[in-house]
Amino acid sequence: MEAACYTSAQEVALIVDWLEQAGLTYQVNGGWAVDALAGAQTRAHRDLDVFVDAAAAPRLLAWLGERGYAIVEDWRPIRVELTSATGRVDVHPMVIQRNGDGVQQGPGEQVFVHAAADRVVGTIGGREVVVASAARLRSLRSGYAHREVDLHDLAVLDRLGTGRPHRAAPISSRTRPLAPPP
């Protein structure tokens, strides 16, 4: 299945490794988050949706540029889409609050809150990653006409539990993400 993917599990793992080594607050959303909760890849993924601390988004974009990614859509502060020979990444900046919640600008006056309590641990390509909870992923798939991939993801979510909670020190005192509890 890996060859059919636009963005492979290995590419996702490399990006997450960089995010964690840089000590950034992040959250994987979208189809890769669903598969992370499933613990296995269930479909091909066009891109990786990663929500990251807005203050550090320029560092991530620069690093992706060094890896050969080029910006194809720039809707800052909402999102930046990049593509390369190794995949596609949608970077969604979120302003991290003192309690760890991420606030993302939406279209117009809309804002989206990505609660720290909704972050759980999943697995992509054999490595643990911080993802949105199943309930949050389900809620993000509301309010629009579902595509085939959305229906697939919802069916996978229906079969899953909620994932292990992601516990980390408060953002202000954290130098790098802490390991999830055993």
122, 128 contact by CB (below 8 A): yes
CA distance linking residue 54 with residue 74, whole number of Å:
14
> Per residue in 51-74, pLDDT tens?
999 999 999 999 999 999 999 999
Is the CB of residue 139 less than 8 Å from the CB of residue 111? no
Residue 121 identity: V
179 domain-assigned? no
pTM of structure: 0.84
pLDDT in tens, 101-153: 999 999 999 999 999 999 999 999 889 999 999 999 998 888 889 999 999 99
CATH of the domain at 113: 3.30.460.40
The structural domain count of the chain equals 1
| Residue 107 counted as domain residue | yes
Nearest to 102 by CA among 90, 92, 88, 91: 92
Range of the structural domain that residue 125 is part of:
2-167
In the structure encoding, which two tokens stand for residue 156, read together? 């996978």
One-letter amino acid of 58: P
Q: Which residues pair with 59 in a beta bridge?
A: none
- Mean pLDDT throughout 17-44? 94
Paired with 114 in beta bridges are 102
Amino acid at 48: L
In a domain, 175, yes or no: no
Question: Is residue 172 situated within a structural domain?
Answer: no
